[in-house]
Amino acid sequence: MNFESEPYKFVCQNPRNYENYDIWHSANPLHNPRSLFLLQYSLLSVVSQFIYLCIQPLGQSSIVAQILGGVLLGPTFLGHKKIMISNALFPPKGSMVIETTAAFGAMFFFFIVGVRMDPGTLWKTEKKAIMISAFVFLFTLLIPSSLAFLMIRYVPMDKSLSISLPFIALSHTFTAFAVVTIVLTELKILNTDIGRLAMSVAMFSDIVGFSLAIILFSVLQNKSGGFTNFISIFSSLAALVLSIIFVMKPLLIGISKKLKSEKHVSEWFFVCIMVFVLITGLLSEAIGQHYVMGPLLLGLVLPEGPPIGTSLIAKIEAFTYAFFYPIYLTISGMKTNLFKIDYKSMWIMCLLVVVSVVVKTGAVMLSGYYTNVPLKECFVIGLIVNSRGVAELLVYNLWRGSKLLSEQEFSLAVFSVIAINAIVTPLIKILTENIPAMMNLLEVSHASEDSNVRVTALILVELLGRSRPLLVAHQPHDILRCTSSNSKQVNHAFYQYIEQNKGYATVELFTSVSNLETMNDDVCRIAIDRIANILILPFHKQWEIDGSVEVTNKSIQYMNIKVLNTAPCSVGILVDRSANNTKPLFSKSTTPSSYQVGVFFIGGPDDIEALAYSSRMCRHESVKVTVIRFLEYGLENSKERRREGDMIGEYRNINKANRRFKTVDEVIKDGIEMSKRIKKRIDSFDLVMVGKEHAKSALLQGYEEWSECPELGVIGDMLSSPDFETKTSILVVQQQRIIQRKFSKAKVFPMTQEKEKDYLLHSHAFDMQIRIDEKKVEDR
């Protein structure tokens, strides 16, 4: 029997034996608390995972899916009074069990967060991270709170909203380390420079915010008591903190020293720590604090790394993150009710949330300006620290239980978490998953068991001040002290590439510090030593997101021209116009045939070299190659056209079973029509390949007069012009000039130094040399 009495709901339940509550005894299994609990947990998990599968292609995080799963099962949808489906599956008598289990999971979740945090690093935190944290905390504390009080005074609103608005503003002051860690892990940027700086900012902010939260919680707890009661609350809190630091920590460190020789934590010690977690949670509740405070502090004092920290995380992380943690988010979503929201209150809350997000992002960018952090990195970090998650939901649930938030304000707060994450996460993904087009080119070269890829990467640094040049060899995961953050990102990308293609790809990484006039000699010498098939060079221009040219480096252009004239192998110049539009093939979410490669074939050895390279690319399951052959009208019977047609036919025949390779003929009359056809087609590709030079044709007349970059040839120069609007990357290919290979129907050997290799299949290992230009290095 249920009956309601404001503001509480009482549930009466018969404590009878439920052992025989099953379908074989003509009873409803859902009346059995155990069966009901198992059904609820299963349903919450399945619904959340289904939603995640649906919204993951949109770049959404699992946090959004898990909260939306709760919203779907809550009173907003399936639990609405006109539907009542959720009321049968989630009756009041079953809510206590599942909520307690979810709270139990949240407690262990924050314990793991504490283990992952290393308070000792606070003393080693970079000054820029401390400054960013300080700016974020002060700005988000003052401006949104001031706005909240101004709106309370001058904007008519509900009394409940006027009470809760300052607390909602205060919640945006916090930057939860747990939330930032989850976001960075899901986006796979935890180990990047941006990820590390965001982690440092979050850790420093979280310590300050956590301290403020404890003080605020104690003040709220004492709202009906006097000063003596307040002192008692603080004394009990201090006693718990001191007992964890000076009793539990030495005990655990002593045990840790004894276990140094052991690779794994013994079973009894693991059980002891789990009991400590439960005890600290109990003590936190007993003194009136939140139950996650004690476990979080216990995690903070645990020795980091092996054997304790590493073994603990390995034992409980997977189960907690996959089973307990998502349920807490889903249950928070179930408590929201869209129909309780007043739309005027919604707009007031939206204004406060938008201002808070803008202020926090602006604070990061302002402090980053004074600490010389690049503007783009500041913007990304600003988005990251705006992420919301389990920590904020924990606070909102706490305030809801304390009657600081009514059902309307709690629903608004939860929906603000969904909205912020739904907007921020895809933006972070777009801005940080911009794998350079060169790394995508490396991936589409398709390392496989039948045809390995050997990469030699050369980072070139201009010599300034040093007496002699340097050539340093290092592993892909090493970070050279003389290189910038850009080369660290490249090193990390190479390391990921090796991990993804273990056994099929090898990478040698060099850094050459030399004079600009002799850099081309270093490139060609290493290409000869490694018997490279092709050299990939970066273009000297870089593009912004809006299509404008960001950087033009004439010294790189000068060196590229010298390499083209002296290279011992084929050469490709990569024009990366993709900006933030590059599709990352390293991502496991990339669907088959999702990376489009186009080959613009006009005629000549360089176009045939591009065709040979594209034939290798189409073996990649995520790559689709389209060869577009431009034919001049009226030259159907020319000897050159027939020979090139036979060669394209051989490629088509070899790839006849591969649906990812196709050819298209475009018959055109002049260069103007060809330019129109190219503009019409180019944006359907992620990468376009074209030869540097072509056979003489009426189609190319007039193009030479407007050429700004002769190293790209007439078509490559047109495609890379700032006036040509596209976000497609271009690879301009030049066949090897030194050996002067001649093409015939019988024997053609593109992209190989071996005289008798099959030019169609590249059955030998594919050697690629990549050159990456770095900043100038001053004498140290």
**pTM of this structure:** 0.65
Quick one: pLDDT at residue 205? 85
- 749 band by pLDDT with thresholds 50, 70 and 90: very low
- First and final CA of the chain: distance in angstroms? 81
Residues whose CB is less than 8 angstroms from the CB of residue 38 and which lie 6 or more positions away in sequence, other chains included: none
Quick one: pLDDT at residue 754? 40
Quick one: pLDDT at residue 154? 92
Q: What are phi and psi of 549, to 5 degrees?
A: -80, 125
Q: Which two tokens stand for residue 12?
A: 């009466």
Chain centroid to CA 22: how far? 47
How far lies 595's CA from each of 432, 504, 623, 626, 726, in Å?
A: 19, 21, 5, 11, 16
Residues whose CB is less than 8 angstroms from the CB of residue 12 and which lie 6 or more positions away in sequence, other chains included: 1, 2, 3
Question: Which of 282-291, 356-365, 433-442, 626-635 bottoms out in mean pLDDT, i.e. has the lowest?
Answer: 433-442
Contact (Cβ atoms closer than 8 angstroms) between residue 327 and residue 105:
yes
Does residue 252 register a pLDDT over 90?
no
What whole-number distance in Å separates Cα of residue 405 and Cα of residue 397?
9
Residue, of 714 and 116, whose pLDDT is higher: 714
In the predicted model, what is the mean pLDDT of residues 92-97?
Answer: 77
Question: Which of 80-94, 341-355, 360-374, 409-423 bottoms out in mean pLDDT, i.e. has the lowest?
Answer: 80-94
Residue, of 127 and 236, whose pLDDT is higher: 236
Quick one: pLDDT at residue 775? 47
User: Which DSSP category does 764 fall into?
Assistant: S
For 262-278, write each residue's pLDDT tens digit.
555 677 778 888 888 99
DSSP for 237-300, please give it: HHHHHHHIIIIIHHHHHHHHHHTTT-SS--HHHHHHHHHHHHHHHHHHHHTTS-TTHHHHHHHH
Domain 31-88+104-432 has CATH 1.20.1530.20: yes
Quick one: pLDDT at residue 551? 58
What whole-number distance in Å separates Cα of residue 406 and Cα of residue 403?
6
Question: Which of 13-22, 249-258, 372-381, 418-427 bottoms out in mean pLDDT, i.e. has the lowest?
Answer: 13-22
Question: Which of 509-518, 563-572, 625-634 bottoms out in mean pLDDT, i.e. has the lowest?
Answer: 509-518
In the predicted model, what is the mean pLDDT of residues 151-173?
Answer: 91
Quick one: pLDDT at residue 307? 63
In the predicted model, what is the mean pLDDT of residues 222-251?
Answer: 79
- 280 band by pLDDT with thresholds 50, 70 and 90: very high
Quick one: pLDDT at residue 333? 92
pLDDT > 90 fraction of the chain, expressed in percent and rounded: 20
- Average pLDDT, rounded, for the chain: 79
Quick one: pLDDT at residue 379? 92
Q: Domain segments of the chain: what residues?
A: 31-88+104-432, 437-773
Question: Which of 178-187, 300-309, 470-479 bottoms out in mean pLDDT, i.e. has the lowest?
Answer: 470-479
Does residue 412 register a pLDDT over 90?
yes
- 383 band by pLDDT with thresholds 50, 70 and 90: very high
- 731 band by pLDDT with thresholds 50, 70 and 90: very high
Residue, of 657 and 482, whose pLDDT is higher: 657
In the predicted model, what is the mean pLDDT of residues 404-430?
Answer: 91
Contact (Cβ atoms closer than 8 angstroms) between residue 160 and residue 340:
no
Does residue 467 register a pLDDT over 50?
yes
In the predicted model, what is the mean pLDDT of residues 176-199?
Answer: 80
Quick one: pLDDT at residue 13? 67
Does residue 139 register a pLDDT over 90?
yes
DSSP for 439-454, please give it: HHHHHHT---SSS-EE
Quick one: pLDDT at residue 236? 86
Residue, of 4 and 378, whose pLDDT is higher: 378
What whole-number distance in Å separates Cα of residue 38 and Cα of residue 349?
37
Residue, of 371 and 123, whose pLDDT is higher: 371
Instruction: Give the architecture (CATH level 2) of 437-773.
Output: 3-Layer(aba) Sandwich (3.40)
Quick one: pLDDT at residue 368? 87
Does residue 396 register a pLDDT over 90?
yes
Quick one: pLDDT at residue 472? 79
Question: Which of 187-191, 396-400, 770-774 bottoms out in mean pLDDT, i.e. has the lowest?
Answer: 770-774
What whole-number distance in Å separates Cα of residue 52 and Cα of residue 42?
15
Contact (Cβ atoms closer than 8 angstroms) between residue 511 and residue 446:
no
What whole-number distance in Å separates Cα of residue 780 and Cα of residue 776?
12
How far lies 286's CA from each of 283, 291, 296, 401, 699, in Å?
A: 5, 9, 16, 17, 85
Quick one: pLDDT at residue 411? 94
The neighbour count for residue 184, using CB atoms within 10 Å, is 23
Q: Strands 595-601 and 687-691, how do they pair?
A: parallel
Residue type, 554: K
Does residue 778 register a pLDDT over 60?
no
For 696-719, write each residue's pLDDT tens digit.
777 777 676 677 888 888 888 888
Quick one: pLDDT at residue 421? 93
Quick one: pLDDT at residue 419? 94
- 505 band by pLDDT with thresholds 50, 70 and 90: confident
- 492 band by pLDDT with thresholds 50, 70 and 90: low
